[in-house]
């Protein structure tokens, strides 16, 4: 019998950045794929002067334990264990799916929800741009050579779309290896009703992709922008578009995104 995803028992690694006054608002930040917490959210470090930032390494990434298969539903269970007292939740693509599920399951523990470039495309497949991209991504990543190395997968994920091949450090290759075994987030169909009915403030942040390589914008950028717009409308979220930014607006334009987060967390 299929019992669904199971959560490993070893605890996650959490980096805490906190130079704020005692009792400052708490924010939990969840990274996306082929990344880890402090790499993904390095540009949000200055916010620790006013807020307590808890930067998560998902299972299989950063300094968290290995996992047989990374899974956004397992990540959501982990977040449910970590939430405890109230916290603001932030998730970047793969992490956005996890925080959506965690906020749906624990709405009273979530003070606000921020989705940065959310990528559960199947949830927004009613939008024709998203539906077309979903088919492209399935074709490109759904049937890869099982002998593909992490370095080859990294190259497959970057160079065909005009992105530079990053230095394949051991830490990055571990993240890539975990990403290769992930449950595909683009095929996630997440229930939106619980979030639509939740009262916490909700924000969706997208880059405008105007400075991105045309191949990257065409392959995923237009779909991610449409997905963000669709999800914002469906859950009653404010939709923020960041000019001059691509798939990582919090890294490309940190001052602008940090100002959005600070206003949200202070309110």
Burial of residue 220, with CB atoms counted within 10 A of its CB: 0-12 exposed, 13-18 middle, 19 or more buried: buried
pLDDT in tens, the chain (267 residues): 333 455 566 789 999 999 999 999 999 999 999 999 999 999 999 999 999 999 999 999 999 999 999 999 999 999 999 998 899 999 999 999 999 999 999 999 999 999 999 999 999 999 999 999 999 999 888 777 778 999 999 999 999 999 999 999 999 999 999 999 999 999 999 999 999 999 999 999 999 999 999 999 999 999 999 999 999 999 999 999 999 999 999 999 999 999 999 999 998
CB 216 within 8 A of CB 71: no
Q: Which residues does residue 112 pair with via DSSP β-bridges, in sequence order?
A: 88
Angle at 225 between CA 79 and CA 240, to 5 degrees: 70
Of 224, 241, 34, which is closest to residue 137 (Cα–Cα)? Answer: 224
Burial of residue 257, with CB atoms counted within 10 A of its CB: 0-12 exposed, 13-18 middle, 19 or more buried: buried
């Amino acid at each position: 019998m299929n019992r669904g995803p199971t959560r490993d028992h070893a605890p996650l690694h959490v980096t805490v950045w906190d130079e704020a006054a005692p009792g400052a608002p708490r924010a939990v930040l969840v990274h996306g794929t082929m990344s880890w917490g402090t790499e993904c959210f390095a540009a949000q470090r200055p916010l620790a002067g006013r807020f307590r930032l808890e930067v998560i390494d998902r299972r299989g990434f950063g300094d968290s334990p290995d996992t047989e298969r990374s899974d956004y539903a397992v990540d959501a269970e982990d977040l449910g264990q970590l939430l405890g007292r109230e916290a603001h939740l932030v998730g970047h693509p793969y992490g956005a799916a996890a925080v959506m599920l965690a906020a749906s399951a624990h709405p009273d523990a979530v003070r606000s929800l921020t989705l940065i470039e959310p990528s559960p495309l199947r949830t927004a497949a009613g939008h024709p741009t998203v539906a077309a991209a979903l088919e492209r991504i399935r074709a490109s990543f759904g049937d890869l050579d099982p002998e593909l190395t992490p370095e080859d997968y990294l190259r497959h994920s970057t160079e065909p779309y005009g992105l530079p091949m990053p230095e394949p450090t051991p830490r990055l290759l571990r993240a890539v290896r975990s990403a290769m075994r992930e449950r595909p987030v683009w095929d996630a169909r997440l229930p939106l009703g619980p979030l639509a009915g939740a009262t916490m403030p909700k924000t969706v942040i997208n880059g405008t992709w105007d400075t991105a390589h045309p191949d990257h914008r065409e392959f995923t950028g237009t779909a991610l922008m449409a997905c963000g717009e669709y999800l914002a409308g469906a859950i009653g979220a404010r939709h923020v578009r960041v000019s001059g930014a691509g798939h990582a607006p919090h890294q490309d334009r940190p001052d602008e995104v940090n100002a959005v987060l600070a206003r949200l967390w202070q309110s």
